[in-house]
Amino acid sequence: MGPGPSDVPSRVLEALARPTIGHLDPVFLQALDETQAMLREVFGTANALTLPMSATGSAGMETCFVNLLEPGDHALICRHGVFGGRMAEVARRCGAEVTLVDAPWGQAIDPDDVAKAAKSRAFKVLAIVHAETSTGVLQDLSPFRAIADSCGALLLVDTVTSLAGVPVDVDRMGIDAVYSGTQKCLSCPPGLSPVSFSERARHVLSTRDTPVQSWYLDLNLIGQYFGGERVYHHTAPVNMIFALHEALRLVLEEGLTARYARHRQQAEALRQGLEALGLELPVAPTDRLPPLTLVRIPDGVDDRAVRAKLLADHGLEIGGGLGDFKGKAWRIGLMGASATPRHVELCLGALREALR
């Protein structure tokens, strides 16, 4: 019940353990096509270039930036936690000039601040984190398409901790490039990063003046394998695709609406229980992320000792704080298969005992 990975259902683990077959085997290619189709449904998009990158969520971040940015481009990046900061670092390593818009840790980005910064010049990319894993903040994305349009930018969004836990709605929100990870609300082992690029983003990708700086992450090349041509690029992680295929089947069997409601309901049950224990939730109610709850550590309580006791006595892992919240907060995950009444009850009971 930390910030990831979440518990993995037995069906997904069984899929992971299937016999390994070739990455050009017709059975595998059918599973790959079905995985892409299911990812489109979960992302809420019709984008043709929607696929699982053969690496973890951080590589999904790199994929979006290295394919869209070239040296000298300008990027407007929103930072309200660790992962907005990582976006900025990746963009700089692409040779881009970065303009930052900050918000205090534990708060959402103010769209007015971003709109003001967008007036300063034209930008190639406007990037923002939808669900900030370091703070438990859920960002309202609805104002950002218009802001991106005002400065000529592509809208790039991190959905690592939101995909399949809260609505992402790529097409409705006008998102041009998006990435996620398998180990959060999808409840699949870590190892793949779903991404999706709009037609506008694909045009930018295909008309670059310079080659994509990463050969491995170059979607001009990878897209030829995931498309009809099946041009060899790298050996796909066959068993991880089997696992993601089964994880997506579970998501869609439950139904997205029901899944989102389950995450909200269990987060509310956790909130009520934490407050009954006298614990404080620093994030404002309007900005709280259902799959991840930030809890302030009471004065005089030893962060490491509590987490060690939870793990030793109950087999329960929760996360420590990052950045401004290091040593000051816990991060409790309710993601995918870990968002159940049993998890909530276990966590509340274990915390009650540890704090006593």
Within-domain flag for 4:
no
Question: Which CATH number covers residue 269?
Answer: 3.90.1150.10
Distance from C-alpha of 102 to C-alpha of 85, rounded to nearest angstrom = 10
Predicted pLDDT of residue 52: 98
Residues in contact with 237: Cβ distance below 8 Å, sequence separation at least 6, in sequence order? 54, 191, 192
Number of domains in the chain: 2
Within-domain flag for 5:
no
- The reply to whether 31 and 171 lie within a common domain is yes
Q: Which one of 194, 219, 252 terminates a domain? A: 252
Residues of the chain scoring pLDDT < 70 = none
Predicted pLDDT of residue 126: 98
Strand-pair category, 97-102 with 329-333: unpaired
Token pair for 266: 């269990």
Within-domain flag for 2:
no
Q: Which one of 215, 232, 252 terminates a domain? A: 252
Within-domain flag for 264:
yes
Q: What are phi and psi of 90, to 5 degrees?
A: -65, -40
- The reply to whether 45 and 193 lie within a common domain is yes
- The reply to whether 128 and 234 lie within a common domain is yes
- The reply to whether 64 and 193 lie within a common domain is yes
- The reply to whether 165 and 46 lie within a common domain is yes
- The reply to whether 168 and 45 lie within a common domain is yes
- The reply to whether 298 and 261 lie within a common domain is yes
- Put simply, whether the predicted model's pTM sits higher than 0.95 gets the answer yes
- The reply to whether 243 and 262 lie within a common domain is no
**Helix, strand or coil, per DSSP, at residue 45:** coil
Q: Where would I find the beta strands (DSSP E) of the chain?
A: 49-53, 74-79, 97-102, 125-129, 131-132, 137-138, 154-158, 177-179, 193-197, 292-296, 319-320, 329-333
Within-domain flag for 3:
no
Question: Which CATH number covers residue 120?
Answer: 3.40.640.10
Q: Which one of 252, 279, 296 terminates a domain? A: 252
Predicted pLDDT of residue 229: 82
How buried is residue 264: exposed, middle or buried, by Cβ count under 10 Å (0-12/13-18/19+)? middle
Token pair for 123: 């930008």
- The reply to whether 247 and 270 lie within a common domain is no
- The reply to whether 158 and 304 lie within a common domain is no
Kindly report the number of other CB atoms within 10 A of residue 17's CB atom.
11
Distance from C-alpha of 262 to C-alpha of 343, rounded to nearest angstrom = 13
Q: From the centroid of its chain, how far is CA 304?
A: 26
- The reply to whether 246 and 339 lie within a common domain is no
DSSP string, 144-207: HHHHHHHTTPEEEEE-TTTTTTS---HHHHT-SEEE--SSSTT---S--EEEEE-HHHHHHHHT
Within-domain flag for 229:
yes
- The reply to whether 34 and 171 lie within a common domain is yes
Domain containing 323: what range?
Answer: 256-355
